Amino acid sequence: MNPFFALLQHDPHRAKAQVLGDAAISGWVKDAIQQLDRRDPVDVLHDLDLLLNLYEALCDRHMELTPAPRHRLRSLTKDAVQVADTDQPASFDQLPGEIEIGGTLDRLLVPEFLTIISEASVGLGWETELFAPMDEPDLLRALDDHHHLHLYNSFALEGEFPSLEDWLVNHQIGFTRRSSGNSSYQAERTQFRKGLTAPISVALDPQGQELIDRQALTRVLRYLKEGQLDEALTLLEMTLGPTLAALPPFRIAHTLQEHPPFLTGLDERR
């Protein structure tokens, strides 16, 4: 699942804060969110549905396609939600997933990290025993040839490690996760690096090559033919996404302080 969609499921208010704090999101979107917060949520949904259908139709016409407008609003009554939850329970597929972790883990966070790893049901290879590190040396001995902590789960829900990934993002520790696909789920690679506000995901084909949205590239080509170079470059950069640095080696070091500096000074004087 797209990490942002997962965040929407669990904490939409945090998702909104993430959008507002993301420098890559346009000011127009952020201004719109601030204005929409002052309106009735149901009215907002109907207006957004109208706008989505309108601009989808305009884009379709630009690409000489036939517009196919449709309502996307579901019932917002409690009864409807309960029926949906009862009659159509959420199902999750178990797919192979692997995650490489790299970057600096502060030594003060090691106990918490050990717990997160132990609860993630991961091994150091496919079909190996569960990895349950007890201390810092166990973590360092588990590093692969690239000095990454490489973890596997052949039966991960949707091929993901949500609790582990959330913890790494919250503590600004980089990772690269690859999830296999099936008839219901697209294989993907999700990456996070220190300094980002959220992971970045790309779809993969069965050979592990990135998949690019053909419709977006068609729009880029149209802009180029029309001489709109700036628009073409902007859309192409958005479609390709940012270029991320290589995953750094995993290491453990002191980067945090147990007490604020002024308290540390008081302790020393005692």
The residue ranking higher by pLDDT, 167 or 207, is 167
Write phi, then psi, for 96 (nearest 5 degrees): -65, 135
Residue range 116-163, pLDDT digits in tens: 999 999 999 998 999 999 999 999 999 999 999 999 999 998 899 999
What secondary structure letter does DSSP report for 183?
A: S
Write phi, then psi, for 110 (nearest 5 degrees): -55, -50
Separation CA 149–CA 193 (nearest Å):
15
The answer for residues whose C-beta is within 8 angstroms of residue 77's C-beta and 6 or more apart is: none
- Choose from 72-76, 244-248, 253-257 the range with maximum mean pLDDT: 244-248
Which DSSP string do the residues of 28-76 spell out, in sequence order? Answer: HHHHHHHHHTTS-HHHHHHHHHHHHHHHHHHHHHHTT--------PPP-
pLDDT at res. 88:
47
pLDDT at res. 137:
96
pLDDT grade for 53, boundaries at 50, 70 and 90? confident
Separation CA 203–CA 150 (nearest Å):
21
Q: Which residue has the tokens 């990934």?
A: 165
Report the candidate in 93, 99, 118, 125 with the shortest Cα–Cα distance to residue 1.
93
pLDDT at res. 191:
95
Q: In the chain, what percentage of residues exceed pLDDT 70? A: 86
Asked if 182 and 95 touch (Cβ cutoff 8 Å), the reply is yes
pLDDT grade for 13, boundaries at 50, 70 and 90? confident
Instruction: Calculate mean pLDDT across residues 19-27.
Output: 80
How many CB atoms are closer than 10 A to CB 184? 10
Lowest mean pLDDT among 99-103, 179-183, 201-205, 244-248: 179-183
Report the candidate in 243, 251, 246 with the shortest Cα–Cα distance to residue 103.
251
Separation CA 174–CA 193 (nearest Å):
4
Q: Which long-range contacts (CB under 8 A, 24 or more apart) does 204-211 make?
A: 204/178, 206/181, 208/178, 211/186
In 91-173, which ranges are E strands?
94-106, 149-157
pLDDT grade for 72, boundaries at 50, 70 and 90? low
Token readout for 69 is 């407008």
Separation CA 162–CA 119 (nearest Å):
11
pLDDT grade for 195, boundaries at 50, 70 and 90? very high
Residue 211 has pLDDT above 60, yes or no: yes
